[in-house]
């Protein structure tokens, strides 16, 4: 529902209609190609070798004598000798239906192993430390669509665009509508508060009455379901961002990753189900700030590393194949004799996905990823 419609419904005064700053009513927003792009960031550095397991590589179990043995259930085979962790049942089905595309040995180019700088780097997308402008916000600007971050405030990926709003489930009873009407006046002259309020009002109606079904409160499934509902209700909102935390598995990695992967697995399935037939036109990109050490550490886990894995999912992707170049796991093949060596760049894959899915040309992609290269082969 557009903001204007909302005020018609609640009986807003004429004066409000004249408010100068309309976040979404700008003519720069096209009326929806309906090609949806959803970005899921896994905060904490997901361990790729325990997720997309290189079973063909004889060094794998040497580097991880204990961790590799903790996977007792049958792994889920995919191409080139890789296998998914047994927790990824739904993702494996997606893979078989050619709707999931894992890309191994990727990295953003960040090499210093700090979560927080690594996340900013991945979200900024400029190849530098930058928290003012995110690649997804720039893509949204180029595509001229609207976007929602499932969060209380804008994460770095979504900073730098007026077309971005935020939404998070809340149990609070809503304040009277005329409180919001007056707040609009109060915030004149305060650009940031105005933007927040407008964004909030925009989604108030859409999100109202939205039920997440049986999903556990606060779970990724609840959030992806809600996210799909928001995207489906709007004609102009074609982009969303979600995040999950808890991937920093320094200890007891196997059981923790089992939980995490199950949550991701269920969240993706819930997203697919809630998107309904729009899933066909949807691309989901999933990445993490960096990978973890190739060797297991002393506490049943892994420490901060470099190369990792990313995924593209959705009815729109050319799934059912494993992309990326495997660098090998011998000491001299590891980055600094420690981490999986990144052989391709996360931003290049994201640039390619965006360019193919949203038909952004190379000029537009330069605004999104200044360093990004576009691959010729279709991945979407």
Question: DSSP label at 358?
Answer: S
Among 92, 113, 138, 254, binds another protein (CB under 8 A): 113
Please list the residues that pair with 283 across neighbouring strands.
37
Q: Any contact of residue 376 with another protein (CB under 8 A)?
A: no
Q: Closest distance between another protein and the C-beta of residue 128, in Å?
A: 12
Question: Candidates 202-210, 233-241, 358-366, 368-376 — which segment interacts with another protein by CB under 8 A?
Answer: 202-210
Q: CA neighbours within 13 Å on the CB side: how many for 56?
A: 11
Closest CA to 374 of 102, 327, 354, 358: 354
Q: Give, as ranges, the residues between 237 and 256 that touch another protein (CB under 8 A).
A: 245-246, 248, 250-251
Q: Any contact of residue 56 with another protein (CB under 8 A)?
A: no
Tokens standing for residue 303: 């420490």
Q: Any contact of residue 203 with another protein (CB under 8 A)?
A: yes
Q: Closest distance between another protein and the C-beta of residue 357, in Å?
A: 26
Among 219, 297, 333, 364, binds another protein (CB under 8 A): 297
Contact by Cβ (8 Å): 237, 284: no
Question: Candidates 152-160, 225-233, 265-273, 349-357 — which segment interacts with another protein by CB under 8 A?
Answer: 152-160
* Minimum CB distance to another protein smaller for 100 or for 334: 334
Count of positions on this chain that bind another protein (CB under 8 A): 61
| Pairing relationship of beta strands 308-313 and 100-107 according to DSSP bridges | antiparallel
Maximal CA-CA distance, the chain: 71
Contact by Cβ (8 Å): 24, 270: no
Q: CA neighbours within 13 Å on the CB side: how many for 237?
A: 27
* CA gap 190, 193 in Å, rounded: 6
Q: Any contact of residue 11 with another protein (CB under 8 A)?
A: no
Which residues here bind another protein, judged by CB under 8 A?
43-44, 112-117, 131, 149, 151-154, 159, 165-168, 170-176, 178-180, 182-183, 185-190, 192-193, 195-204, 245-246, 248, 250-251, 297-299, 301, 303-304, 336
């Amino acid at each position: 529902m557009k903001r204007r419609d909302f005020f018609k419904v609640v009986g807003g005064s004429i004066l409000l209609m004249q408010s100068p700053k309309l976040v979404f009513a700008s003519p720069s927003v096209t009326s929806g190609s309906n090609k949806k792009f959803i970005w899921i960031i896994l905060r904490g550095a997901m361990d790729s070798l325990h997720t997309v397991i290189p079973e063909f590589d004889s060094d794998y179990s040497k580097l991880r004598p204990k961790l590799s043995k903790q996977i007792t259930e049958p792994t889920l085979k995919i191409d080139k000798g890789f296998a998914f962790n047994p927790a990824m049942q739904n993702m494996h089905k997606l893979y078989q239906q050619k709707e999931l595309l894992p890309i191994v040995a990727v990295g953003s180019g960040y090499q210093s192993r700090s979560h927080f700088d690594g996340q900013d780097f991945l979200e900024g997308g400029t190849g530098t430390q930058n928290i003012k402008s995110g690649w997804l916000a720039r893509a949204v600007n180029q595509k001229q669509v609207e976007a929602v971050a499932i969060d209380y405030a804008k994460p770095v990926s979504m900073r730098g665009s007026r077309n971005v709003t935020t939404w998070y489930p809340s149990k609070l009873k809503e304040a009277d509508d005329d409180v919001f009407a007056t707040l609009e006046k109060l915030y004149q002259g305060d650009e940031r508060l105005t933007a927040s309020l407008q964004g909030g009002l925009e989604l108030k109606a859409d999100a109202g009455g939205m039920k997440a079904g049986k999903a556990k409160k606060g779970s990724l499934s609840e959030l992806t379901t809600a996210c799909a509902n928001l995207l489906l209700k709007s004609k102009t909102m074609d982009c969303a961002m979600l995040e999950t935390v808890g991937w920093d598995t320094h200890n007891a990695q196997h059981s923790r990753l089992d939980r995490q992967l199950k949550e991701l697995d269920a969240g993706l399935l819930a997203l697919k189900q809630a998107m309904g037939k729009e899933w066909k036109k949807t691309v989901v990109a999933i990445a993490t700030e960096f990978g973890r050490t190739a060797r297991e550490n002393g506490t049943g886990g892994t420490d901060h590393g470099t190369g990792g894995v990313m995924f593209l999912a959705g009815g729109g992707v050319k799934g059912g194949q494993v992309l990326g170049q495997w660098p090998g796991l011998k000491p001299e093949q590891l980055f600094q004799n420690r981490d999986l060596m990144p052989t391709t760049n996360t931003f290049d894959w994201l640039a390619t996905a965006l360019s193919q899915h949203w038909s952004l040309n190379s000029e537009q992609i330069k605004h999104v990823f200044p360093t990004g290269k576009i691959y010729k082969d279709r991945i979407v």
